[in-house]
């Protein structure tokens, strides 16, 4: 808040009036300049702090995604074995039921820094190109998380065919056919997830440059 005080003595003439007006104008300009400088410095500090947070967040997420990509290949191999087991079972060959012993592992990705930066308006202080690169990386990350949710949902459906204490080799023909469809869908989901993983890693790298 800027305060303008009246002169301590009366204005005796036009010259005094313009001197007083000039003094007020210069004072206001200096005050506004100082205020703008303080605000700009605060914005720079907030921007640098947000950039550091986002870079740290994406770096951690990148490590997580690389690890998960290795798990994705393992899961696809495991599901391929389950599919072969079911197809053989459909033809009358009973394979090793241990192929059903697999799990679907995912680790959560972080996005708190991004949501905070967006909510507080700090993104507006960033260079446009840099803000766009961060935005693209987190948008692709959202696509990845949606693909994970889809794969996890289909994986849970597939798990319903394995009831505790029941030998999967005793599955009925209708269940075999249904399970084959779920395995194929689950494999398609995981392949999609893998494709989005690679795209997300590429955008992470662009944002982290």
Is the pLDDT at 2 greater than 50? The verdict is: no
- 172, 86 Cβ separation under 8 angstroms: no
Is the pLDDT at 196 greater than 60? The verdict is: yes
- CA 144, CA 101: separation in Å to the nearest integer? 25
Predicted local confidence at residue 57, as pLDDT: 96
- CA 201, CA 65: separation in Å to the nearest integer? 8
Choice among 17-26, 55-64, 104-113 with the minimum mean pLDDT: 17-26
Cα–Cα distances in angstroms (integers) from residue 115 to residues 33, 55, 158, 208, in the given order: 32, 14, 34, 18
- 46, 122 Cβ separation under 8 angstroms: yes
Predicted local confidence at residue 168, as pLDDT: 87
- CA 101, CA 191: separation in Å to the nearest integer? 20
172-181: average pLDDT: 92
Predicted local confidence at residue 158, as pLDDT: 81
Q: Please state the pTM of the whole predicted model.
A: 0.75
Choice among 52-56, 91-95, 153-157 with the minimum mean pLDDT: 153-157
Buried b (16+ CB within 10 A) or exposed e, 33-61: eeeeeeeeeeeeebbeebbebbeebbeeb
Domain ranges, ordered by start, for the chain: 47-208
Is the pLDDT at 10 greater than 70? The verdict is: no
pLDDT band for 71, please (50, 70, 90 cuts).
confident
For the chain, the average pLDDT equals: 84
């Amino acid at each position: 808040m800027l305060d303008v005080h009246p002169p301590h003595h009366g204005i005796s003439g036009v010259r005094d009036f313009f001197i007083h007006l000039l003094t007020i104008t210069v004072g206001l300009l200096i005050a506004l300049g100082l205020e703008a400088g303080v605000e700009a410095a605060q914005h720079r500090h907030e921007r640098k702090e947000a950039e550091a947070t986002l870079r740290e967040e994406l770096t951690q997420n990148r490590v997580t995604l690389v690890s998960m990509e290795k798990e994705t290949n393992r899961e696809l191999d495991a599901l391929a074995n389950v599919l072969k087991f079911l197809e053989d079972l459909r033809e009358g060959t009973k394979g090793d039921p241990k192929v059903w012993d697999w799990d679907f592992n995912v680790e959560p990705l972080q996005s708190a820094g991004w949501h905070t930066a967006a909510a507080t308006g700090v993104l507006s202080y960033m260079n446009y190109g840099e803000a766009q690169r961060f935005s693209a990386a987190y948008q692709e990350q959202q696509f990845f998380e949606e693909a994970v949710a889809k794969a996890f949902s289909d994986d849970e459906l597939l798990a319903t065919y394995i009831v505790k204490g029941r030998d999967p080799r005793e599955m009925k023909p209708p269940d075999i056919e249904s399970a084959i469809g779920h395995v194929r869908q689950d494999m398609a989901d995981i392949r999609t997830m893998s494709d989005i993983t690679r795209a997300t890693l590429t955008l992470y790298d662009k944002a982290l440059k």
